[in-house]
Structure 1
């Protein structure tokens, strides 16, 4: 629920009504485009590993992802007026992708994300598992998630019905509001593990250098060590759009630690990457400090376990981009100062 607070007469505060998309001139395509460009806020990277997104003219679900156990999550944005058609669509995808073997899943990821090598090893590294899952554990089960409008009661009731029948199907609802004549959308991050997901205000960010997929991308990000960029690519490229000018940005290199700290000096810049048009999104940075030589990383880079120990947390540093707290920012800086020599 969204309320307009009325001060000082709080008892007179009124609830902002939920609007239907058509009353605001908003189409399903608008919602689809919005959610696809904010996918990093829709799916928690620490809980789900993105496999694929829908491509034009292909018979594919909107989003396919894996959890740490190898369960396949199938996300579908509601496009139809009838709840029956909504669920038939997502179940049809379940019938198709539920039959995929490990080899077919691996081929899908290699095609869409340019994955080099084994999906099993990528999955192990992504979730920090002690050993890779056996191939037969991938796609043993499927979970369906229908993304639908919060006022679409028919679809919500149908989801509840089939859930009681043993079909693993959930809803992720968005709500539309109108405030001062302008449209607003509200949605929550899908949370399969039911962890506490705390939404924080932007301003401090950790950006992963994506070394698993692109071994040398960090070189472009660090550049000369004075000015560089925080970049994201392909399916995760929109993640850096959250970084506003003036934000504090740390670059984290998987398996190493934090290798740079800087300030965002401008908006997102879109460019080609290795011949692929518009597949690199980057925020320009002015570095406060940067470790441009890998020889310096073992002794000087603040490690993930050191940062977690300093703030008594168990945070995973795998996501492409995530908000960091002031406490985490200060801990990284203190570790850096203590060893910079």
Structure 2
């Protein structure tokens, strides 16, 4: 629920009515495009690994994702007028993708950009597992998620009915509001592991150098150690859009630590990557400090365990882009200066 707070008389605070897209003259395609563009906010990377997205003219779910146990999540962002069409479409996808072997899932992953990716190893790196999952452990179980408007009562009731019958299907709802003539959309991050997920304001960011999928991307980001960029690619490129000019950006390399800190010199920009049009989004950076020489990483990079030890947290640092708290930013800077003094 959303209220307009009456500071003088809180008991008379007015509740803001939830709207349907039609009431606001918003086409369903606009909602779809918004949700797809904000996937990094919708799905937590530390809990789910995106395996595929819908391609034009193909009978595919909007999003396929794997959790750390190899469970396949099937997301449907579209919303038809009747609940039966919503659920029948999702269940058809379940029938299709639930039969996928490990090899077919790997083929699906390779369509995301890296044609040589080994799904077992990419999954192990993504979730920082001690051992890769066995091939037969992938896609043993499927779960279905329908992304729907919070006032779509028929769909929500149908989901509840089938869930009670043992079908692992649930809803992820968004809500539309109109305030002062402007349209607002509210949604919560999907949280399959039921972890504590705090919403933070933008300003300081950790950007992963994407070594899991592109082993040399860090070289382009770090450049000469004076200026560089923070980039994301293909389906994850939208994560960079939240970084605004003037933001502090730390670059993190999986397994090695934070290797650079800089200030964003621009809003996000797009460019082609590996022959694919607009496949990379980036913000230009001017570095406060950076380690462009990989030989320095062992001694100088600020390790994840060091940061977590100093803050008492348990961050995984594998998301494409995530907000860093003021406490985390200070810990990284303090650790860097300690290392710089001793070298």
1:229/1:282 contact within 8 Å kept: yes
Which SS does the other structure have where 2:111 is aligned?
Answer: helix
What displacement does 1:115 show?
4.7
What displacement does 1:6 show?
1.8
What displacement does 1:286 show?
1.2
Within 5 Å, give how 1:224-263 maps onto structure 2.
Answer: 224-263=224-263
In structure 1, distance between residues paired with 2:298 and 2:338: 14
In structure 2, distance between residues paired with 1:326 and 1:112: 34
RMSD: 0.9
Within 5 Å, give how 1:170-319 maps onto structure 2.
Answer: 170-319=170-319
192-201 vs 115-124, which deviates more?
115-124
Structure 1 residue ranges without an equivalent (≥5): none
Matched, 1:156 2:151: no
In structure 1, distance between residues paired with 2:36 and 2:277: 18
In structure 2, distance between residues paired with 1:104 and 1:127: 21
CA shift digits 1:82-125 (9 cap, x unpaired): 00000000000000000000010001111223252420111111
289-298 vs 223-232, which deviates more?
223-232
Within 5 Å, give how 1:61-80 maps onto structure 2.
Answer: 61-80=61-80
Which SS does the other structure have where 1:23 is aligned?
Answer: coil
152-161 vs 3-12, which deviates more?
3-12
What corresponds to 1:7 in structure 2? 7
What displacement does 1:7 show?
2.3
Which SS does the other structure have where 2:333 is aligned?
Answer: helix
1:116/1:213 contact within 8 Å kept: no
| Equivalent pairs, count | 341
What displacement does 1:191 show?
0.4
Which SS does the other structure have where 2:260 is aligned?
Answer: strand
2:244/2:267 contact within 8 Å kept: yes
Which SS does the other structure have where 1:74 is aligned?
Answer: strand
2-11 vs 162-171, which deviates more?
2-11
In structure 2, distance between residues paired with 1:242 and 1:41: 10
What corresponds to 1:330 in structure 2? 330
In structure 2, distance between residues paired with 1:83 and 1:326: 44
Within 5 Å, give how 1:30-109 maps onto structure 2.
Answer: 30-109=30-109
Structure 2 residue ranges without an equivalent (≥5): none
What displacement does 1:8 show?
1.9
In structure 1, distance between residues paired with 2:96 and 2:113: 20
1:231/1:283 contact within 8 Å kept: yes
CA shift digits 1:213-247 (9 cap, x unpaired): 11111111111211111100001000010111111
In structure 2, distance between residues paired with 1:130 and 1:248: 32
What corresponds to 2:110 in structure 1? 110
1:115/1:213 contact within 8 Å kept: no
Which SS does the other structure have where 1:284 is aligned?
Answer: strand
TM-score (norm 1): 0.98
Which SS does the other structure have where 1:22 is aligned?
Answer: coil
In structure 2, distance between residues paired with 1:78 and 1:108: 21
In structure 2, distance between residues paired with 1:77 and 1:214: 29
In structure 1, distance between residues paired with 2:8 and 2:264: 38
1:302/1:332 contact within 8 Å kept: yes
In structure 2, distance between residues paired with 1:100 and 1:285: 42
122-131 vs 98-107, which deviates more?
122-131
